[in-house]
Chain A
Amino acid sequence: MSRAAGTASEELEAVPVPGSDPSQGFRALFEPRGVAVAGASSHPGKFGFVALHNILRHDFPGPVFAISLSGEEVLGLQALRSADELPDGGADLVVVCTPAAANVELLRACAARGVKAAFVTTAGYGEAGTEGERAEAELKEVAHELGVLLAGPNGQGLISTPASLCAQIVAPYPPPGRIAIVSQSGNFVSSFMNFAIQTGIGVSRAVSAGNASATTVPDYLAYYADDPATAVSLAYVEGLPDGRAFFDRIRPLAARKPIVVLKGGASPGGARAAASHTGALAADDKVFDGACRQAGVIRAATVEEAFEAAATFATQPLPRGPRVVVYTSAGGWGVVTADAISHSSLELLPLPEDLRADLDARLPPRWSRNNPVDLAGGETRDTIPECMELVARHPDVDAVIYLGMGIQSNEARLMPRAPGRPLRRGRGDGVGGDRQARVDRHRAGRYPSRQPGPGHRAGHGPSLLLVRQPRCRRP
C-alpha cells in the first residue's frame, strides 16, 4: 500500500495553493475544531462505523458529524444526508469512508463548508491499477485546487492525543506522550501504538500515510518538527524511489528534533550497476545507512528497537558526552550494562578519585569502589539518592544509567524522597537530570524529564538512547 515517501511534496511546495497555507491543513488534521465522518454507518464491520465510534469513544471534545446517504441514526448521532448539510465552519476535518467514486464530489462539498483537511481511508486508488491511479490523481488535483490537505488515501487514519482525537479504522489508542508517528504501513502505526500502551510511554500524533499521494512522510515529519507536543518523530518508510530528495528534506528536520526511521524493503539497488566495485557494494541498504548517519537520523533495525529509541528520546534528556557511570544495586545488571557500553561508542568513566572518596564516606566498605557503582546491598533509602546526587553532580559525568533493582530501591520508591526523583525533576530543582537537560536543549530541542513507565525496560532503554544518540559534530 505504500508509495513514494518523497515525491509529491515538492510539487505542493512549488505551487502554493492560493489562499491557504499548509500549516492550516495540518492544524485541521491534528487539532480540528470539529470532525465529520463521511460514509458513517451503523454496521459495525464498516470503516464508517469504526471511525465514528473511535472518535466518540475517546471523547473528542468538539462537534462531531456523521454523514450518510441513508440519513439514519448512527451511534446516537442523526446523520446528515450530505456534506452540504454541514454547518459552515462546523467541521474542519473530514474522515472519508465513502467509495472512491463519491469522493471528488464529497471533497468539493466539504470544502464549501469550511473543511481544511481530509483523511481518506478509501482503498481502490493507486494501489489498484490504472483506473485507481487515475482516480487518485484526480482526487489529489481537486484537493489541491480546493486548498484541502489530503491525507491518504488507502490509510487507516490518525490519532492526536492533545486533541483527544482517535480518527481511525483500527482500535489502538495510545496514552498521551511526545512521540509522533508516521508510517507508510498502517499496521506499523498500530504496532507502535500498542507498544505505547504496553509501556505507558505515550504518543502525540500518529498517522498512516496510506498512498501518500499528496501528503508524504517528509511532509508529516516537517509538521512534527515544529509541533510543540512532539519531542521525537518515528517513521516507517519503504520504497524510496528518490532517496536523495527524501534526505534533502528530512536532514534539516533531524537537526531540530530527533527522527527515528525504520525502513522496509532493502533492495539490491547497487548490484545492478556492477561495472564498478563501488556499484556492486552499494546495496541500497548500505547507502541508506550512510545517508541516515549523514542526516543525523537514527535508523532502527526492528519495530521494537525503533519504538525503544523513540521512547527513550521522548523521556530522557540527551547526555552531553560519552562518559557514563552505571549506578546499580544489582551486580549482574551492572556487569551486563558495562559489557553493552564496551561495545558502543560510550565510555565507562573510571571513577574519579574525589567521587570515590565521597561515596566511600557514605557507603559500607563492600560497595564496588569503581564504575559500575555497585552498591552491593549496602544502600539504604537515604544513601541511594544521596550517592546518586554525588555521581550526577560530578563534572566528569555526562550521563548516569541507573539500574534500581534491589529491594532497597523498591522500598525507597515508596518513600517521599524516592531515588529517581532528583533526576526526574525538571530544570530548576533537579540534580543531574537538570544539568544534562539544559546542556542539550540548544541542540536538540526540549526534552521532558518524565520517567519511563513501569513496563519500560529500564536498563536497556537508557543504554539504547546513549548508544544511539545523534552524532556530535566535531569542530
Chain B
Amino acid sequence: MTASRSTTLSEAESKRILAVHGVPVVEEQVASDPGEAARAADGLGYPVVVKLCGPVIAHKTERGLVRLNLRDSSAVRAATEDLLGAAGPEDGDVQVLVSRMVRGVRELIAGAHRDPQFGPVVMVGVGGVLAEALADVAFRLVPLTAVDAAEMIEDLRTARLLGPLRGEPAVDRDRLATVLMALSALMQGDDSVRSVDVNPLIVVDGVPVAVDALVEVEP
C-alpha cells in the first residue's frame, strides 16, 4: 500500500470515470494550446478556471497551477501559455483543463480507498484546503446502502454546514448520498481502483459538484 506502486489518472480522466458513475462533475474541456483553450472557454461561458492537467500532476494549488476566475479569452490564452510553460519534464504529457468557474461557500470532500484492515471504504467530510486539518469525516464499508450514505452525512460534526447557509440553500442530501453510492459502486465494480479523492466537492445551489478529482489505480 505505498504510493509508489500506484498510478494516478489525470484530473480529466478521473472526472470522466466519476461522471460515468453518476457523480455530478463541473462542465469542462481539455485543450492543448492557448487557441483551443480560448475556444473552449467561449463555449463554456465566462468566468472560467484553467488548470494544468496530466497523469502525474498533483498538488496543483501548491504549485500555482490553477488560474481562477478568468473573464475573457485573452486571459484564458495568457493563463494557458503560462501553465504549459510552467510544466517541467517530470510532469510528462500535459494539457490544460478549462472549466466553468463554479461558486459555493461550502466545499466538501468525498472519497474512497482500500483500507488494509477493512477493505474498500467510502468517506465524506468537510473539504477544501483545510480538509485534513479539520478531519471532520465519516467512513462506511463498501457496499453502502442508501441508509448508510444518509447516516454518514448525519455523522459529520459540522452537519450544520449542510443547512441553509449565507444565502445558499441547504445541501441536497439525496444528491450528496448519490455521490457516495456512486463511489461505493466504483470501488465494488473495479478492483484496479485503489483510491478516489473528490476534493473539493463544491455545493452549487445545494447540489454537490466535483470540481477536482484524483483516481489512483493499480499500475
Contact = CB atoms under 8 A, between A and B. Distances in A.
Contacts of B199: 277
Interface residues on A, range: 20 to 34
Contact of B140 (A273, A280, A293): A293
B40 interface: no
Contacts of B195: 273, 275-276, 278-279
A281 B3 contact: no
A7 to B, nearest CB: 12
A273 B117 contact: no
Interface of A: 240-244, 247, 269-270, 272-282, 284, 286-291, 293-294, 471, 473-474
Interface residues of B, number: 38
B165 interface: no
Given A273-B2, A275-B6, A287 B117 contact: yes
A51 to B, nearest CB: 35
30 contacts: A240-B117, A244-B119, A269-B115, A269-B117, A272-B116, A273-B2, A273-B116, A274-B3, A275-B2, A275-B6, A275-B8, A275-B194, A276-B214, A276-B216, A277-B111, A277-B131, A278-B109, A278-B112, A281-B111, A284-B118, A286-B139, A287-B121, A287-B141, A288-B118, A290-B138, A290-B139, A291-B118, A291-B139, A293-B151, A294-B151
Contacts, number: 111
Contacts of B216: 275-276
B197 A291 contact: no
A273 B113 CA distance: 9
A242 B197 CA distance: 24
Contacts of A289: 138-139
Interface in B127-149: 131-132, 135, 137-141, 147-148
Contacts of A291: 118, 139-141
B141 A281 contact: no
B135 to A, nearest CB: 6
Contacts of A293: 140, 151-152, 155
Nearest to B134: A281
Interface of B: 1-3, 6, 8, 109, 111-113, 115-119, 121, 123, 125, 131-132, 135, 137-141, 147-148, 150-152, 155, 194-197, 199, 214, 216
A275 B196 CA distance: 10
A294 B119 contact: no
A286 B138 contact: yes
A167 to B, nearest CB: 33
A282 B3 contact: no
B117 A243 contact: yes
B3 A273 contact: yes
Nearest to A289: B139
B118 A287 contact: yes
A287 B1 contact: no
B115 A284 contact: yes
Given A272-B1, A273-B195, A282-B121, 12 more contacts: A243-B117, A270-B113, A275-B3, A275-B216, A278-B197, A281-B131, A286-B135, A290-B155, A291-B118, A293-B155, A473-B147, A474-B147
B118 A276 contact: no
Nearest to A242: B117
Contact of B196 (A269, A272, A278): A278
Nearest to B148: A294
Given A242-B117, A273-B3, A284-B117, A294 B141 contact: yes
A369 to B, nearest CB: 31
A241 B121 CA distance: 16
Given A290-B152, A290-B155, A278 B117 contact: no
Contact of B197 (A240, A273, A276, A294): A276
Nearest to B154: A345
Contacts of A282: 113, 115, 121, 123, 139
A290 B115 contact: no
B139 A277 contact: no
Instruction: Select the residue from A241, A273, A291 with max chain B CB neighbours within 10 A.
Output: A273
A292 to B, nearest CB: 10
Contacts of A278: 109, 111-113, 123, 195-197
A41 B197 CA distance: 62
